[in-house]
């Protein structure tokens, strides 16, 4: 019997930890599956996804730069996907349509609050970036009780668009990058920009950390190094990358596909453990 087929789409994607994570989850339940990476350039993404599902694929994770395209491909979209306008999970339905879901916000919250013990209630948060990654987590931060969420982007228009979509100007104002110096002591700074992935320095003022904020990067590994180094140098109360978020979002996708949610702690710990 052929094992169920799963994949993660991205460009580039060879660095992805998703195959390792999903195979570790499958071992917890004795499930046989195949999970692979598929590198698809933006122009080839739609065709590559259709080939995968036409060949019997059951589910796929989607990462940069394809999350908006994945959302557009779907015939059915979850509330979280519709709110963000992006998807990081695609599932084949019985009628061969694709269902889109976005697990980014839930995964980030679980990592921040449960793994790292950060209480978000009443906090003043600063969200760096206004693209797909930011849209995937913005509403979740507000739902979790953040008092204010200031959205800052190099393009002020993009920040204003996200703020307008949220529709709570008092709680979620928009600012331009040149206004960072005017923002008053956030308790939490979330980096949702693609700067680390692209190898570009963010150039953040040290004055942002007057209140010793907690800093969190949605990226992990090398892509998060610059932001976390800045946070540590500036005296952050805590500085975390998004590896735990990756594991939690993968677990949510696994639960969608298999009906059982795996234990994320041992998988996260194994990925944090230095290579021998």
To the nearest 10°, report the CA torsion of 265, 269, 271, 272.
140
In the residue annotation, 222 being an active-site residue is answered as: no
To the nearest 10°, report the CA torsion of 262, 91, 57, 137.
-70
Please give the structure tokens belonging to residue 153: 């982007």
End-to-end CA distance of the chain: 36
User: Per residue in 236-263, is it b (16+ CB within 10 Å) or e — as a string?
Assistant: bebbbbbbbbbbbbbbbbbebbbeeebe
User: How far apart are alpha carbons 64 and 132 in whole angstroms?
Assistant: 9
User: How far apart are alpha carbons 29 and 18 in whole angstroms?
Assistant: 17
User: How far apart are alpha carbons 89 and 236 in whole angstroms?
Assistant: 33
Find, among 134, 138, 131, 132, the residue nearest to 168 by Cα: 138
Find, among 64, 86, 136, 69, the residue nearest to 107 by Cα: 136
- Taken as a whole, the chain contains a residue count of 276
User: CB 229: neighbour CB atoms within 10 A?
Assistant: 11
User: How far apart are alpha carbons 92 and 49 in whole angstroms?
Assistant: 11
Catalytic residue among 67, 77, 92, 175: 67
User: How far apart are alpha carbons 91 and 103 in whole angstroms?
Assistant: 13
- For 100, the 3-state DSSP assignment is strand
User: How far apart are alpha carbons 121 and 173 in whole angstroms?
Assistant: 18
Which active-site residues does the annotation give?
A: 67
């Amino acid at each position: 019997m052929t094992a169920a087929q799963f994949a993660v789409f991205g460009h580039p994607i060879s660095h992805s930890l998703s195959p390792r994570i999903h195979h570790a989850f499958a071992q917890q339940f004795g499930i046989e599956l195949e999970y692979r990476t598929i590198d698809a350039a933006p122009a080839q993404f739609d065709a590559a996804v259709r080939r995968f599902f036409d060949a019997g694929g059951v589910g796929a994770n989607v990462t940069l730069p394809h999350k908006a395209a994945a959302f557009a491909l779907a015939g059915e979209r979850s509330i979280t996907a519709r709110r963000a306008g992006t998807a990081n999970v695609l599932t084949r339905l019985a009628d061969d349509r694709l269902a889109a879901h976005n697990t980014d916000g839930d995964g980030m919250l679980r990592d921040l609050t449960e793994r790292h013990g950060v209480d978000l209630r009443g906090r003043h948060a600063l969200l760096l970036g206004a693209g797909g990654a930011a849209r995937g987590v913005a509403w979740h931060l507000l739902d979790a009780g953040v008092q204010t969420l200031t959205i800052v982007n190099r393009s002020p228009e993009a920040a204003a668009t996200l703020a307008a979509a949220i529709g709570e100007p008092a709680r979620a104002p928009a600012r331009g990058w040149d206004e960072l110096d005017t923002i008053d002591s956030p308790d939490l700074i979330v980096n949702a920009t693609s700067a680390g992935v692209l190898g570009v320095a963010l150039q953040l003022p040290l004055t942002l950390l007057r209140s010793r904020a907690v800093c969190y990067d949605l990226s992990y590994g090398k892509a998060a190094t610059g932001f976390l180094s800045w946070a540590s140098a500036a005296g952050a109360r805590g500085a975390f990358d998004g590896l735990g978020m990756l594991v939690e979002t993968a677990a949510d996708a696994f639960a969608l596909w298999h009906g059982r949610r795996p234990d994320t702690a041992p998988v996260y710990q194994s990925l944090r453990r230095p290579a021998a």
